[in-house]
Structure 1
Amino acid sequence: MATPTRVSLEDAVSFTDKHLIPLADEGLGNSAYLVDLGDGRALAVDASRDLRALREAADRRDLAVAFTADTHLHADFLTGALQLAADDGATVLASAAGHRTFPHTALGDGDEVDLGGLTLRAMATPGHTDEHLSFLLLDGTRELGMFTGGSLIVGSAARTDLLGADRAEELARAQYHSLRRLAELPDATAVWPTHGAGSFCSAPSGSERTTTIGAQKAANDLLAAPDEETFVHRLLGALGSYPAYFDRLAEINRRGPAVLTAAPGLEPLSAAAVRNLLGSGAHLVDVRPVAVFAAGHISGAVSNPLRPAFATWLGWLLPDDAPLVFVLGPEQDPAELAWQAAKIGYDRLAGQLAGGIDAWRADGGAVETIRLVTAAQIGDRPVLDVRQDAEYRSGHIPGATHTELGSLDGHTAADGMVVMCGHAERAMTAASLLARSGTRGLAVLTGGADDWAKATGRNLEDGA
């Protein structure tokens, strides 16, 4: 194994601009990468089962995916590696310690793969998971960049509690040593993480999704920790809740998700068919915008507007082992919904109500409403804040009670309560869950805590 030579910052930037194509999933807060190997072939890194953006990028450059690498057993999305192997004949590269049960090239610390001019070197970086690898991309002996997955990320490091709370500290200590090892790379080395802002695998807010080793030495609070104990305290102290489906996907990824033989979609269902399905235990999900849902929806429907965060809340709040029926608006794309569901393993999609809510009404179906209110209209009504803990602590309406949306299903609340989040989407989801459990007279705040402060001229409260 040749000793690497230091790459200049200019070389790393030039390679990134010319040959690296980041593919951001804004909803999950992740990035996959497509690397143009320069000979008509490509390497994909941490590709999800939703390969639409990756295939579009490859087609634009007339690239065939020859290799696909996964840095770890993902908990937040199903890997696209098997699909790329089946469709493109790509060689799957992954950690030997992951004990995957499907064909792949099993790699350990220091193993190298010849990509045809470029070389990919595996580096064991446990912490986020215990089988985690980072991949150093080399041009000869020049270090171009590191795919760090859920190890070193922009401004932080990924969470270490996905294998159970009882292992969180152990893996946090492993993460400490992994980051210290990565920090030994030259400052100019590009860092290409998978998890970024918006990921529940843990990342701070911010728009930057890639960085360099030197930039993280200067700005990453975890990397700046003076010792292991401080690092562990900082990392574990920043962990919040995460979607329920995270506990299922790693094992599915170890066995290998089913290869799709056709693009997922939604079958049209009559109003009568929807009634029969609901009577047999199916769940109804209404993906129309908040205001449209508020004006009229089917009793028992869960509101989850079709937006980038749709998959996260689908996986957090709905079961994956029961049929799901959807209500869409006329301008909404059922293919987008089906792909978002498929990437987190939701394949039991019974279909969509043909003709939408108008067809339901025409068939004699009743609808319910939920009132939307502005901050000035709350008055002295009780308020339920369903944002994440960190959001609530940073500033909330005085006297507001707090339960995270992800913990709300099955709970009841006081009749007449106003539910709030930041922009009303999560609040409407919460209100629909509460209404399904029997709470009446609910209203949803159309804005957030800052809107309340501006409307009333009063200060928000900080802390728990």
Structure 2
Amino acid sequence: MGFADDHLIPLVDEGLGNSAYLLDLGDGRALAVDASRDLRALHAAARRRGLTVAYAADTHLHADFLSGAVQLAHDHGATVLASATGRRAFPHRGLVDGDEVDLGGLTLRALATPGHTDEHLSYLLLDGDQQLGVFTGGSLIVDSAARTDLLGADRTEELARAQYRSLHRLVALPDATAVWPTHGAGSFCSAPPGAERTTTIAAQKHTNPLLAAPDEDTFVQRLMASLGSCPAYFDLLTEHNRRGPALLVGTPPLPALNATQVKDLLANGSQVVDARPAAEFAAGHIPGAISIPLREQFATWLGWLLPDTAPLVFVTGAGQDLEEIVWQAYKIGYERLAGHLAGGMPAWLEAGGAQATTAFASADQTPDGPYLDVRQEAEYAAGHVPGALHVELGDLADHTDGIPAGAVVACGHGERAMTAASLLERAGHTGVTVLNGGPAEYAAAHGTRLDATEGGER
């Protein structure tokens, strides 16, 4: 078959910052690359084109989401393609460097590109001798390379050096070769994130600062200096993906629970996640609940702040999508979902349940007291309120004792700050105020200017 750009369908998960790809092979079959366990968008795209997924390729053992390859093998009869050195414990076709897969007119060639992980493969797509594009997964990404510290601090430099060699192997491809990475803007696997999701070899030669490094040592220094924090659940998923996620039939249920059932669950170690918008949580919530508003980043903060071992009860507001909660949780391996509070907070209050509130104020209504900034390090470096105490949200639960009383808790808009306030309140803090806004609004309202240094938002 001839290749046209519309044969490749990117499937972007804005919350995790990742892209999967569905390649229409032109004969009713398709190749999926780095598909997530949440296959709703992929299935919809396949249905629109009348496609059956014949191949499901994974570039590496993902740490930030559960792979959908095993599910695609079950649902579509897909052949799973993956590195032979990944020790995957489920049926797959193991590939090593140089192996080729005949896709029926197109060819997929495996390229060993270790760095992000040991067993990382990139996949070069060929039409005869023409090198059309390369699925680079967590190797070469737009204007950067994926992080190399996920296998432990003791291996970070070793893998960074492997990443150097892998990137230089990839940029030896023809300039016109398209580059289709998995990790992109918003992904905590990328270092640092960029705005674009696809690129070309030629563009990366000109714009990727890591490739501008004059030697391997400089490359390693730059890459390692760009590594920020990442969610705690990353430590769990590599092994889950090696074993293969459990198969699912449809959307798993999220049972309706009455107030009495919720109280019983809480008494026996369950945790409450309040998925309503920050303002609704502030107006009234179950004491001890953790605020994680249902938005694109829901899975990231669920996996960063809560264990996967405790049953989870969800509080939702009018019109919120329960199915979205389920898939956000399941795609990162959180399957102990006890249910949702039927009727929401009105039902809880009607049954005599206790309620807590949190101050949520605009910048001109916040006090001049201590200011706690819970954004990522790169965001803080880009501009912060003078004298701010900085603790990243992901680290806050371990540092609540050092937070001063009556603090104004802030992030970029208010969602993460409300999550932080809920963690502080659960630890016994009272009198915190959440800033409904960001540091620029606070500085303007309080007659100061931001301290800006190097960095960018994450």
TM-score, with structure 2 as normaliser: 0.97
CA distance, structure 2, for counterparts of residue 88 and residue 315 of structure 1: 29
Partner secondary structure for residue 351 of structure 1: strand
Structure 2: give runs of 5+ residues left out of the alignment.
none
Is this contact kept in 1: 2:187–2:193, CA < 8 A?
Answer: no
Question: 1:174 Cα shift?
Answer: 0.1
Is this contact kept in 2: 1:127–1:173, CA < 8 A?
Answer: yes
Is this contact kept in 1: 2:191–2:226, CA < 8 A?
Answer: no
Is this contact kept in 1: 2:192–2:226, CA < 8 A?
Answer: no
Choose from 143, 146, 157 the match for 2:131: 143
Choose from 417, 442, 448 the match for 2:407: 417
Residue pairs, 1:191-230, within 5 angstroms: 191-230=179-218
Question: 1:380 Cα shift?
Answer: 2.0
CA distance, structure 2, for counterparts of residue 423 and residue 355 of structure 1: 28
Q: Give the letter aligned to residue 149 of structure 1.
A: G
CA distance, structure 2, for counterparts of residue 246 and residue 142 of structure 1: 37
Question: 1:16 Cα shift?
Answer: 5.4
Question: 1:132 Cα shift?
Answer: 0.2
* 2:21 counterpart residue number: 33
Find out whether 1:324 has 2:312 as its counterpart: yes
Superposed CA deviations along residues 45-82 of structure 1, whole A, max 9, x for unmatched, are 00000000000000010000000000000000000000
Is this contact kept in 1: 2:257–2:341, CA < 8 A?
Answer: yes
Is this contact kept in 2: 1:154–1:203, CA < 8 A?
Answer: no
Question: 1:196 Cα shift?
Answer: 0.2
* 1:287 counterpart residue number: 275
Find out whether 1:179 has 2:167 as its counterpart: yes
Is this contact kept in 2: 1:269–1:353, CA < 8 A?
Answer: yes
* 1:376 counterpart residue number: 364
Residue pairs, 1:334-413, within 5 angstroms: 334-410=322-398, 411-412=400-401, 413=403
CA distance, structure 2, for counterparts of residue 420 and residue 52 of structure 1: 34
- Structure 1 ranges of 4+ moved more than 4 A: none
* 2:441 counterpart residue number: 451
Partner secondary structure for residue 191 of structure 1: strand
Is this contact kept in 2: 1:155–1:203, CA < 8 A?
Answer: no
Superposed CA deviations along residues 74-119 of structure 1, whole A, max 9, x for unmatched, are 0000000000001110000000110101100000000000111111
* 1:3 counterpart residue number: none
CA distance, structure 1, for counterparts of residue 309 and residue 4 of structure 2: 42
Superposed CA deviations along residues 252-307 of structure 1, whole A, max 9, x for unmatched, are 10011111123123100010000000000001000000000000001000000000
Find out whether 1:125 has 2:113 as its counterpart: yes
Question: 1:415 Cα shift?
Answer: 2.2
Is this contact kept in 2: 1:405–1:426, CA < 8 A?
Answer: yes
Q: Give the letter aligned to residue 459 of structure 1.
A: R
CA distance, structure 2, for counterparts of residue 242 and residue 203 of structure 1: 11
CA distance, structure 2, for counterparts of residue 181 and residue 425 of structure 1: 42
* 1:259 counterpart residue number: 247
Is this contact kept in 2: 1:197–1:207, CA < 8 A?
Answer: yes
Superposed CA deviations along residues 165-221 of structure 1, whole A, max 9, x for unmatched, are 110000000000000000100000000000000000024444310000000000000
Question: 1:453 Cα shift?
Answer: 2.6
Choose from 67, 85, 96 the match for 2:84: 96
Question: 1:400 Cα shift?
Answer: 1.0
CA distance, structure 1, for counterparts of residue 242 and residue 345 of structure 2: 40
Partner secondary structure for residue 432 of structure 1: helix
Question: 1:18 Cα shift?
Answer: 2.0
Question: 1:372 Cα shift?
Answer: 1.0
Q: Give the letter aligned to residue 366 of structure 2.
A: I
The verdict on how the C-alpha distance between 1:394 and 1:263 changes in structure 2, with shifts beyond 3 A counting, is: same
Is this contact kept in 1: 2:368–2:446, CA < 8 A?
Answer: no
Is this contact kept in 1: 2:179–2:199, CA < 8 A?
Answer: yes
Partner secondary structure for residue 178 of structure 1: helix
* 1:53 counterpart residue number: 41
* 1:310 counterpart residue number: 298
Question: 1:463 Cα shift?
Answer: 4.8
* 2:61 counterpart residue number: 73
The verdict on how the C-alpha distance between 1:166 and 1:16 changes in structure 2, with shifts beyond 3 A counting, is: farther
CA distance, structure 2, for counterparts of residue 406 and residue 378 of structure 1: 24
Q: Give the letter aligned to residue 213 of structure 1.
A: I
Is this contact kept in 2: 1:265–1:334, CA < 8 A?
Answer: no
Q: Give the letter aligned to residue 101 of structure 1.
A: A
Is this contact kept in 2: 1:195–1:203, CA < 8 A?
Answer: no
Provide the alpha-carbon RMSD of the alignment. Answer: 1.3
Is this contact kept in 1: 2:141–2:184, CA < 8 A?
Answer: yes
Question: 1:333 Cα shift?
Answer: 0.6
CA distance, structure 1, for counterparts of residue 195 and residue 379 of structure 2: 18
Is this contact kept in 1: 2:29–2:52, CA < 8 A?
Answer: yes
Aligned residues: 452
Partner secondary structure for residue 122 of structure 1: strand
CA distance, structure 2, for counterparts of residue 285 and residue 15 of structure 1: 46
Question: 1:379 Cα shift?
Answer: 3.5
* 1:441 counterpart residue number: 431
TM-score, with structure 1 as normaliser: 0.96
* 1:6 counterpart residue number: none
Superposed CA deviations along residues 363-413 of structure 1, whole A, max 9, x for unmatched, are 011211101122222332111110011111111111110110001114232
Stretch deviating more after TM superposition (259-268 or 273-282) = 259-268
Structure 1: give runs of 5+ residues left out of the alignment.
1-10
Partner secondary structure for residue 438 of structure 1: coil
Is this contact kept in 2: 1:197–1:203, CA < 8 A?
Answer: no
Find out whether 1:461 has 2:451 as its counterpart: yes
Find out whether 1:152 has 2:152 as its counterpart: no
